[in-house]
Every structure is written in C-alpha cells, then in structure tokens.
C-alpha cells in the first residue's frame, strides 16, 4: 500500500476549539462535545461529559488525552479531529 495525499474536501472551515487548556470554559467544551457523534449510530451524540477533564472520546474506540494548546474540531459527520499545537502552528489556520 502506498501513502497518498490527504486533506479536507470541505469548502468551509471546520468548527473548532482552537487551544484547549485545563481552564477552558465548560460551555466551550460542551459546544464541541454536542457535535461529536457516534459513528455507528449518528443520531446519538457521545456520552455527555465525554469531552472533559482533558479526554477526547473517539466514539466506539478509546479516548485521547489532550495537552494544552491542542485544537479539537469536528467535521460534517460529527467525527472529532485532534491537531496538536505544533502542527496547528505550522499547517493550519484558525479564523477569528
């Protein structure tokens, strides 16, 4: 299997929490968590509170521990996207 180029085909930007840290407002966390959907049954969001205390739940898998500066976004299907601070600074743009 050969590696291939990969990117988003969205014509608009993704919604994100641009720089997570332990003091991130609960309302901001809830706004992102409400849009992360279960990939087996997209009608159901993930467990309430699953994106809290620095843990980003990947539906029907495990979770990722967030570090300060990480960006958490979701795509049009409700799938979570995690980008670390170094990659965001080098390769991504965050609009105001």
Does the global pTM surpass 0.85? no
pLDDT in tens, 28-40: 888 888 888 888 8
Cβ neighbours of residue 12 under 8 Å, at least 6 residues apart? none
Q: Are 30 and 70 in contact (CB under 8 A)?
A: no
pLDDT in tens, 5-63: 666 656 567 888 888 888 888 888 888 888 888 888 877 766 655 576 788 888 888 88
Q: Measuring CA to CA, which residue among 28, 44, 29, 30 is closest to residue 78?
A: 44
**What is d(CA 27, CA 6) in angstroms, rounded to the nearest whole number?**
32
């Amino acid at each position: 299997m050969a590696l291939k180029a990969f990117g988003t085909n969205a014509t608009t930007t993704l919604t994100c929490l641009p720089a997570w840290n332990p003091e991130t407002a609960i309302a901001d966390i809830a706004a992102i968590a409400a849009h992360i959907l279960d990939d087996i049954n997209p009608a159901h969001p993930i467990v309430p509170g699953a994106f809290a205390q620095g843990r980003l739940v990947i539906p029907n898998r495990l979770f990722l521990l967030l570090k300060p500066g990480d960006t958490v976004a979701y795509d049009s299907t409700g799938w979570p996207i995690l980008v670390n601070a170094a990659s965001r600074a080098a390769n991504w743009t965050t609009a105001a």
